[in-house]
Structure 1
Amino acid sequence: MPSPAPFGLLLDVDGPIASPIERRIVIDSIVDDLLTLAAAGIPIAFITGRSDAFMREQVVAPLVAGGLDAGAHVFGVFEKGGCWAPVTPQGLDVLEIDTVVAVPVALKTAVESLAREHYADTMFVDDGKHVMISIEQRTDVTSAVYRDAQLRFIVEVERIMAELAVGPGFRIDPTIISIDVESVLLDKDLGAARALDWFAARGVSAERWWSVGDSRSDYLMADAVHARGIPVAHVDVRPGDGMLDRPYDVVVESDLIHDAAGAAFLRRRVAELD
């Protein structure tokens, strides 16, 4: 059994890794430092609500282009635990999908049609989702305009769910740039559990873990680690939304937020390797 790594990383994508404004990695050091950490044997898992298609294009492709080490332990969990795949030097490996948690087809059709036919001026459908519905803010629309449209859209989705008699097993989860409709079983703790189990099945472990995210739900990643009795700390890269009280350390990167905070965090983890 190999020795545990000094630490492991559970990383949300939108916010700490990809710019929530440009929806891509814009800070070069983030890719460089992820590659350095992976080559050093640090287990890294991306735990995101994003689709595998987004991850392939915006996160995995830069890692592959940068020369991801063949011995790296990198894993991706998408749609908040609804699907997952290893990340290899050739790209994403075989994708596994949990169809049990998929939204009903009738609901998906109705919600996506509503977005396309009546809200196309402010949002668009993420066609890459397998088990969720995700309607995302257009990048040419201001946050204020989007928030107003988002509130109206949610009311209409609630009406659709009532008409279709969708039970309590599904919920609407709005974020600063999207509206997700998903199974209540999906969340960041499920994603973290999938990642930890994947690492453990391959004999990969860490003395402690860091989780990093910009939403209150991202604390669930650290919750999942803490529940297993493993030391963990959470890095909140958008503390202005309110930091949560937890039985483990919750830290911030000075006054930095989003991917600037994520970049600073990764740079400090690389420095620990020296």
Structure 2
Amino acid sequence: MTLTPGPEHRRVQPPIGLLLDVDGPIASPVTRTVPAGIIHSLLTMAANGWPVVFNTGRSDTFIREEVMEPLLAAGIPGGVRFHAVCEKGAVWFSFGADGPGTLHMDRSLAVPQDYAAEVRKLVQSRYSSHMFFDETKRSMVSVEQLIEVENTDYLQEREAFDADALKLMASFDLGVSRLDHHVPNSDDRVDYRLDPTIIATDIESVRLGKDLGAQRALEMLAAEGVIPHAWRTMGDSRTDYAMADKLHHSGHAVVHVDVRPDDGVPLKPYPVLTAAHLGLPKAIHEEAGNAFLRTWAAIARTL
């Protein structure tokens, strides 16, 4: 049975809730845009009562421009709300046919602005040929690969940038970690981390993460009286498993989709799917995401 969009369907437990990373599964890491097929599938599921929450390290500006605006252009039905948790839990908002709602931010999670200013100068003086400083971030400090730069070239420069960013942390007496490398501050604390990805480096509070994003998602839906019977999470890195971990440990049934299982699929107490389960062993990123979302949209239309 198809649910009619509107406040009344939010008083019922939907069969599935979606918690989706954006870079990779939804937006292409090459073009940084969302394919039309994914927009269509997202609208289909949301219009049939499946809550859709984006759980991303991206800024609210990116979500508004690259996700919300294409959804609006395609036609968000009245009464349907999408939710976005940005910067790994530091910023969150909802949007619908009338555009974005109130923007919320936990300012206690922000990287010090004087450090951010020095990183901006560092990028401008030494790394602007390969990356840019993301001016849209409110809590994190992020640098990102220029679209016209080859990824292999960027990754080499990223190593040098990360080393310089770590040195800057020490000069501000900020304790920091990068992967397995830990450099505490003078109080023997590590409050921040450098999180390198295939197209960016995020400098962030250690309290941020996809698990915090999942908690925000639960709270946003609970405020509307929505508790899905089960969840589908989707990401393209090991850190994205944290959202499924959080849901599982909170007592929710969850299936996680890994659209870039190059690092190997870890053993988890919940099912983990890859594109190979759809007969597409070579599909990754938005191609794999599109295939799963199309399959789920077809299911949503039948319920």
Q: Which category describes the TM-score, using the shorter chain as reference length?
A: over 0.9
Residues 1:209 and 2:220 aligned together: no
- DSSP 3-state at the match of 2:37: helix
TM-score normalized with structure 1 length: 0.97
- Cα deviation, 1:117-168, whole Å, max 9, x if unaligned, reads 1100000011000000000001111111111100001111111101110131
Residue by residue, what CA displacement relative to the aligned partner does 1:215-241 show, whole Å, maximum 9, x if unpaired? 111101111111111100100000112
Correspondence for 2:28: 19
Q: State the percentage of identical aligned residues.
A: 45
RMSD: 1.0
Q: Does residue 117 of the first structure (1) align with residue 117 of the second (2)?
A: no
How far apart are residue 261 of structure 1 and its match? Answer: 0.6
Match of 2:269 in 1: 247
For 2:81 and 2:63, locate their aligned partners in 1 and report how far apart those are by CA, in whole Å: 16
Aligned length: 273
Q: Distance in 1 between matches of 2:209 and 2:99?
A: 24
Residue 164 (str. 1) matches residue 172 (str. 2): yes
Structure possessing the higher radius of gyration over alpha carbons: 2
Moved more, 71-80 or 49-58: 71-80
Corresponding residue of 2:114: 106
Cα pair 1:226 1:232 within 8 Å, conserved: yes
Decide whether the 8 Å contact of 1:234 with 1:251 is kept in 2: yes
Deviation, structure 1 residue 88: 1.4
> What TM-score do the two structures reach when normalised by structure 2?
0.88
Read off the aligned partner of 2:93 and give its amino acid letter.
A
Aligned to 1:186: 208
Indicate which of 56, 59, 68 corresponds to 2:67: 59
Kept in 2, the 8 Å contact 1:80–1:190? The answer is yes
Aligned match of 2:178: none
Unpaired stretches in structure 1, ≥5 consecutive residues: none
- Counterpart contact for 1:237–1:252, Cα < 8 Å: yes
Q: Counterparts in 2 of 1:219-238, with a 5 A limit?
A: 219-238=241-260
Per-residue deviation, residues 45-83 of structure 1 (Å, max 9, x unmatched):
000000011111100001111111222242000000010
CA distance in 1, matches of 2:246, 2:80: 23
1: distance between equivalents of 2:83 and 2:113? Answer: 29
**Mapped partners of 1:89, 1:2: distance in 2:** 20
Q: 1:194 is paired with a residue of what secondary structure?
A: helix
Q: Structure 1 residues 132-141 or 61-70, which shifts more? A: 61-70
The one-letter amino acid paired with 1:10 is L
Aligned to 1:155: 163
Contact 1:42 1:73 in 2 (8 A): no
Q: Secondary structure at 1:111's aligned position in 2?
A: helix
